[in-house]
Amino acid sequence: MNFNRHSSPEPCWATRASTWKAAWEIVKKADKPNLGLTLDTFQIAGGEFGDPTTRSGLIEDVSRPELQTRWRASLEELSATIPSEKIFVLQLPDAYRMNPPIDDSENGQEQPPRSKWSQDFRPLPFDGGYLPVQDVLRAVLDT
């Protein structure tokens, strides 16, 4: 399958295990009772649904229905595959929609757009953000 920049979940800023699925694979393989996940609504929604480089604030290289379908499938998989006892921490930040969008070019930038977004534009839920953090919360509560 040929993936372009956003066809698969995009990391917000992590360099390793940049999706919940990748982190869960590490935890499963380690198989230690004292190793679990710290999930972050911003990292999940910002990587799989949002994009600080677009005017809409959403991943735009797939149709909106396809984006919604992928989003729902990912959260259903999270609920079905991660045992609740392996979720040790849930962080609940949101993200601001960038206006104007963060420039996606790498000319002279010290950090990638998603890293800057993560570092500087993460409000608490219901404080001006727009990511579907409630969807992530529901999925975690359904584990």
Q: So what's the pLDDT on residue 9?
A: 47
Q: Is 13 part of any domain?
A: no
Q: Is the pLDDT of residue 2 over 50?
A: no
Helix axes 41-48, 133-141, angle to 10 degrees: 120
Structural domain contains residue 60: yes
Of 42, 43, 52, the C-alpha closest to 21 is 43
Quote the pTM value. Answer: 0.85
The pLDDT of residue 16 is 75
Please report, in angstroms and rounded to a whole number, the separation of the first and last CA atoms in the chain: 30
Residue 1 has pLDDT above 80, yes or no: no
Domain that holds residue 130: 20-141
Provide the 3-class DSSP secondary structure of residue 124: coil
More confident residue, 55 or 3: 55
Whether the predicted pLDDT of 58 surpasses 90: yes
Number of domains in the chain: 1
CA distance 87 to 113: 28
Instruction: Tell me, yes or no, whether 118 lies in a domain.
Output: yes
Quick one: average pLDDT of 41-65?
96
